[in-house]
Amino acid sequence: MFEDLRDLYQEVIFDHNRNPRNFRVMDDADRKVEGFNPLCGDRLTLYLKMDGDKIIDASFQGSGCAISTASVSLMTEIIKDKTEAEAEALFKTFHDMTTGKDENIQLEAVGKLAVLAGVREYPARVKCATLAWHTLDAALKNQQQAVSTE
Amino acid sequence: MTTFPVERIRADFPILAEKIRNKPLVYLDNAASCQKPNAVIDSISEFYRHDYANIHRGVHTLSVRATDKYEAARDKVRGFINAANTKEIIFVRGATEAINLVAQTFGKANIKAGDEIVITAMEHHSNIVPWQMLCEETGAVLKVAPMNVQGELIYPKFEALLNTKTKLVAVVHMSNALGSINPVKQIIDTAHTKNIPVLLDGAQAIPHMPVDVQELDCDFYVFSGHKLYGPSGVGVMYGKQALLEAMPPYQGGGDMIRTVSFEKSTYAGLPHKFEAGTPAIAEVIGLGAAIDYLNEIGMAAIAEYEAKLLAYATDQAKQIKGLKIIGEAHEKGAILSFTLDHIHPHDIGTMLDSLGIAIRAGHHCAMPVMEFYGVPATARASFAMYNTKEEIDVLMQGITSLIEVFG
């Protein structure tokens, strides 16, 4: 019935929405930043554990739509053991992919995150996918204040 | 009662024949804005093709024609809400501007530090923020009458808020987020026994029921044209003549003056005192056409038909496991706000859109209402006179299917 949406709602997204990975409070986090999308009310708290400039653990709490939940869940998996610079580079690639800025992006470069490429056809939903990454960006820059997509 | 001519009405709205994502459009976002009948669309293009010029004071034929049409629309609005006089009908951009107008003129002239303004817990942001801004400027205090979990005003608590410091009651006639219809006649009568004027935000109520401002005896009634099957960019501020006469002007400029010199200007009489600058001429005329169209159908017949639609939609929705209706007031207009267990309203909105169904997902410019119910957002299907039971079936089938997909 929802054939048209197969690119947007892939099975991986349903899976991460049902069973989000790394969905927990991290008591000994080195970085903790809140992200908020005032348009739809999505909220998340991102926790990072660092070893020098390397992310050794990531987790989150919060509530949001399937796209935003899957995006942050996938992100916490993929950024583990990445350096700050590597994570920032991934953010840029991901951002270009979801906003459709660069149509020639090699989807292999973003690995599993490629399942979120479908949002570029749904401008109203791009922020759902990017909220997690804007929050990560703030955490990497060590900003304390909450992030808003507005 | 004769059968409501919904098929004939549907044929008057060209957009209803559109295909969305290759499916017939099911438009259920009417609380945000209604679609337009040919009568409205044609009135605007006819006006631009044959009669357009600026209004008032022009001596040439087109200006006279345009002025006549513009002022005729004012009289149509007057008749539609049964105001006593066209001087009481002020054209503005919409309900939001109308409330800001009252806050910035009546409010600034009459409300001082320590005074109180009473609103309800179910207001749209447009009937909260202008009063908060006024309170910040003047030192007045905003009081909020609570509602119960059904989404009904708790009347004794509302009544208890009224006192000698209360200078205005500003209440929504029908809630856009919940559908609740407030007991506005009772509210006005109670407030008037204490000499407190009442503003009704009629943005949501006006397309759904007959409104008679003299019978209600409200002091201000505001609404937007685009929710009444008319154009966007035009709305109405009704005010009792004596109140409007005493209020200072809103914006300064052309059309709102009698004489201007560099030392001092004098202001025009009503209604022009509040209509500075060239107004939305074609849109006002389009609103007049919408009112003519609605008068032919009859607001009482529309209210009766929509009540049946809502009852049917509510019954169907209650059969869906995991669906929770937000707002179950006894007196309720044709709005079905709901949540689904474990499925975010934005996912509901996107999934239904892929089936051609337009609903709204979000906070509906009523964040305090969302907070009251402890939800970040709801999905909202809002009905109009051109919707059908078959469309409600399509909606319910869509909801059932998306619940299955989400698993």
- Closest partner residue to B350 (CB to CB) among A39, A64, A122 is A122
Average the pLDDT over each of A122-131, B78-87, B323-332 and give the range with the smallest value.
A122-131
When the pLDDT of each residue in chain B is averaged and rounded to a whole number, the result is 97
Residue with tokens 């070893």: A51
pLDDT at A111 (0 to 100): 85
- CATH numeric code, A3-142: 3.90.1010.10
To test the contact with chain A by mutation, choose from B348, B350, B351, B373 the residue with the greatest count of A C-beta atoms within 10 A, namely: B350
Chain A neighbours among B 43-72 (CB < 8 Å)? none
In tens, the pLDDT along B124-142 reads: 999 999 999 999 999 999 9
In tens, the pLDDT along B160-186 reads: 999 999 999 999 999 999 999 999 999
| Nearest alpha-carbon partner for B338 in B367, B318, B358 | B318
Q: Which two tokens stand for residue B226?
A: 């685009």
pLDDT at B111 (0 to 100): 98
Q: Which two tokens stand for residue A15?
A: 């899976």
- Closest partner residue to A39 (CB to CB) among B347, B362, B401 is B362
Measured N-to-C along each axis, helices B281-297 and B61-80 cross at an angle, to the nearest 10 degrees, of: 40
Q: Is B365 a catalytic residue?
A: yes
Between B311 and A124, residue with greater pLDDT: B311
Number of Cβ within 10 Å of residue A26's Cβ equals: 19
Cα–Cα distances in Å, from B23 out to A117, A118, B281? 25, 21, 36
Spatial separation of the C-alpha atoms in residues B335 and B188, rounded to whole Å: 24
- Closest partner residue to B354 (CB to CB) among A2, A18, A124 is A2
Question: Residue B210: is the preceding peptide bond cis (ω within 30°)?
Answer: no
- Decide if pLDDT at A40 tops 90: no
Interface touch A40/B362, C-beta < 8 Å = yes
- In angstroms, the separation between the Cα of residue B346 and the nearest Cα of chain A is 6
- Interchain CB contact of B345 with A (< 8 Å): yes
Residue-range domain boundaries for chain A: 3-142
In tens, the pLDDT along B295-354 reads: 999 999 999 999 999 999 999 999 999 999 999 999 999 999 999 999 999 999 999 999
- Decide if pLDDT at B192 tops 90: yes
Q: Is the distance from CB of B10 to CB of B386 less than 8 angstroms?
A: yes
Residues of A in contact with B398 (CB under 8 A): 1
Predicted ipTM of the assembly:
0.89
CA A47 to chain centre: 13
Domains defined along chain B, listed by start = 6-30+299-406 (3.90.1150.10), 41-296 (3.40.640.10)
Spatial separation of the C-alpha atoms in residues B202 and B221, rounded to whole Å: 6
Q: How confident is the model at residue A150 (pLDDT cuts 50, 70, 90)?
A: low
